[in-house]
Amino acid sequence: MTTSTPLLLVNLAAEAERKSAEVTNWPGRIAWVVGLALFVALVYWLMREGWKWRSTLQGDLPELPQAPGTAGEPKLTLSGRYHGSTTAHQWLDRIVARGLGTRSRAELTLTDAGLAVGRPGADDFFVPAGQLRGARLDKGIAGKVLTEGGLLVVTWEHGDRLIDSGFRSDRSAEHPAWVAALNDMIEQHDKQTEGAR
């Protein structure tokens, strides 16, 4: 064994020790973690302020109607999720005023009086039959994208706005029956309105 071999081993050990010392640079790591946490907090705060700003811009939206005491016999019921509301036919223009931006569980009940939307943990609302404007199957609303036809979208009028509200049933096979029933109700209401003129 030559004298250069122990010298080489000493150099390798010193090199490994030097690399190990760089890995355990705790002040540097802590600074990165704190910086990242501050960045995430800033992004969250900006998102929250944007949500509040959007709600302020939509402050002219009237109070949501509540279901009448005698809404009538239920024609259809649905259990599922409420995915949000947007300006009609603009699936990314979310409406957040009056609690319409809050995603939640939903219980829908269709009667002759209209559509009652019960939302545990959020404000319930009611769409009178005369304010319903259409129903369709779609794949996205308010930034939520599902499979084609995976979303029941109900278009309704509130104040001077047309609103799309998106729902997804726990049993998506129910969606076509809801579209047919809602559109039939709208057509019958329109005929009655024209007949009354």
pLDDT tens per residue, range 59-104: 788 888 888 877 678 999 999 999 999 999 888 888 988 889 889 9
How far does the chain reach from its first CA to its final CA, in angstroms? 112
- Of the candidates 175, 181, 83, the one whose C-alpha atom is nearest the C-alpha of residue 134 is 181
Of 36-45, 91-100, 158-167, 170-179, the least confident: 91-100
- The single residue listed with the structure tokens 């946490």 is 37
Which among 71, 184, 83, 74 has a CA at the least distance from the CA of 134?
Answer: 184
* Angle made by CA atoms 56, 101, 149, in degrees to the nearest 5: 140
